Amino acid sequence: MAQSPGGPRTAPTRRHDTLALLATPDIDVWVATASAGGVPHLVPVSLAWTEERVVIAVDGASVTARNLRESKRARLGVGPTRDVVLLDVDLERCVEVDEDPALGASYAAQADWDPRGLDGYVFLVLRPRRIQAWRESDEIAGRTLMRDGRWLTR
């Protein structure tokens, strides 16, 4: 198992890097959800980060939307696999793409496409409950930055 360049980061640095990553234009997120019967699903989609929420836009009839409406939860992976941010999130809101103009504008400002006007598409607003970040195995210790929706560091 490899070491992180420069050694393991401090908690404040990891929080800073995490927030910078989530605010990156045109960034994608791996969204893992599960059916009530325990069948895992995984897709990459575009992400927006606004008011400490992750926002994704998907077809309301997709497996991801259905699983999230039913279970209210997902686990998200952002970044390359050797510099990851993992977020356990709860579904806060599911809105038609043209229902909340401010939300639509925030999403379109960060993502590289604009789902507004697309029939059947929804924004899923996801509230982080736990956030973890690590590069290599030397950063596994101290990987939890948020727990129960509260940052553990400034």
Binding site for a second copy (CB under 8 A): 1-2, 28-30, 32-44, 67, 71, 73-77, 81-82, 84, 86, 112-113
Instruction: Pick the closer one to a second copy by CB: 78 or 125.
Output: 78
**From CA 94, how far away is CA 88, in angstroms rounded?**
17
Q: Are the beta carbons of 87 and 131 closer than 8 angstroms?
A: yes
Least distance in angstroms from the C-beta of 110 to a second copy: 15
- Nearest Cα neighbor of 58 from 70, 74, 47, 72 is 47
Instruction: Pick the closer one to a second copy by CB: 13 or 35.
Output: 35
Instruction: Pick the closer one to a second copy by CB: 62 or 153.
Output: 62
**From CA 82, how far away is CA 16, in angstroms rounded?**
17
Q: Are the beta carbons of 94 and 124 closer than 8 angstroms?
A: yes
Least distance in angstroms from the C-beta of 126 to a second copy: 12
Instruction: Pick the closer one to a second copy by CB: 82 or 147.
Output: 82
Cβ neighbors of 37 (< 8 A, separation 6 or more) are none
Least distance in angstroms from the C-beta of 154 to a second copy: 27
Least distance in angstroms from the C-beta of 29 to a second copy: 8
